[in-house]
């Protein structure tokens, strides 16, 4: 079984080492490197090409926003999962816009972090409930969609997008919509192409900006 290769980026050594020990207990995860600042994170990502970067925000030399932007520009296939103590809007939205596919607060359990790493590796988006609510609140006062959803997406594709917005895995979406996992993956690929995005998070953000999703669509 191929292991998920993880790079840890955290300037507090004790925290970083604790997370490393947690992840290395899992048979499908392998920590391939650790960085204590943003510049080192960018360089190690370039050299090690990890599958997932677990990234803090407030760090020396280069903050998490700028580091994520550079990582996604140079290593677009690497998933960036933010793990931070901060749920400020000035961090959340810039990070999602530059390509972070997950945003967790440090109050999550070790098990939740592990499952989030697996989810972003599969191409899914993971947002802490507090963060998801903030995203919805940002866009819920729109007067109306600039483009109607069914001008671009089919009814089935919209159902898949709504399920993805709830944080459901491809397997769960398949079960809810009575589809195969392969069909769900194909629908998501088509959605990304139609919307001109590269991830679930970007697709959900696009739908929110256009008023296609409402508060009840997000957990």
Query: In this model, does residue 63 exceed pLDDT 60?
Result: yes
Q: What is the pLDDT of residue 143?
A: 46
Q: What confidence tens digit (pLDDT) does each residue in 31-55 have?
A: 999 999 999 999 999 999 999 999 9
Higher pLDDT, 105 or 123: 105
Task: Transcribe 6-55 into DSSP letters.
Answer: EEEE-S-HHHHHHHHHHHTTSTTEEEEEEESSHHHHHHHHHHH--SEEEE
103 and 74 in a common domain: yes
User: Do 209 and 178 sit in the same domain of this protein?
Assistant: yes
For residue 142, pLDDT over 70 is answered with: no
Residues 185 and 210 in one domain: yes
- The reported pTM is 0.70
133 assigned to some structural domain? no
Residue 24 domain flag: yes
Quick one: 12 and 98 in the same domain? Answer: yes
pLDDT confidence of 140, banded at 50, 70, 90?
low
What are the structure tokens assigned to 64, written together?
Answer: 């998490």
Domain containing 95 — which CATH number?
3.40.50.2300
* pLDDT at residue 60 is higher than 50: yes
Is 138 part of a structural domain of the chain? no
Residue range of the domain that includes 163? 143-217
Please indicate, yes or no, whether residues 148 and 100 belong to a single structural domain of this protein: no
The predicted pLDDT at position 131 comes to: 78
Same structural domain, 61 and 124: yes
CA dihedral 55, 28, 162, 81 (to 10 degrees): 0
Same domain, 11 and 95: yes
């Amino acid at each position: 079984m191929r292991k998920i290769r993880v790079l840890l980026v955290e300037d507090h050594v004790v925290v970083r080492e604790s997370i490393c020990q947690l992840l290395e207990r899992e048979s499908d995860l392998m920590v391939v490197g650790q960085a204590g600042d943003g510049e080192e994170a960018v360089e190690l990502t370039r050299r090690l090409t990890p599958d997932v970067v677990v990234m803090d925000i407030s760090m020396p030399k280069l903050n998490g926003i700028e580091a994520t932007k550079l990582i996604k520009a140079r290593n677009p296939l690497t998933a960036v999962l933010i793990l931070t103590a901060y749920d400020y809007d000035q961090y959340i939205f810039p990070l999602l816009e530059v390509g972070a596919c997950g945003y967790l607060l440090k109050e999550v359990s070790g098990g939740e972090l592990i499952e989030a790493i697996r989810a972003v590796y599969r191409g899914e988006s993971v947002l802490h409930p507090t963060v998801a609510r903030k995203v919805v609140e940002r866009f819920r006062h729109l007067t109306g969609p600039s483009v109607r959803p069914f001008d671009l997406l089919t009814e089935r594709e919209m159902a898949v997008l709504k399920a993805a917005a709830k944080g459901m895995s491809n397997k769960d979406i398949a079960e809810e919509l009575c589809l195969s996992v392969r069909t769900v993956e194909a629908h998501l690929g088509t959605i990304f192409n139609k919307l001109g995005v590269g991830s679930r998070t970007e697709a959900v953000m696009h739908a929110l900006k256009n008023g296609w999703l409402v508060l009840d669509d997000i957990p």
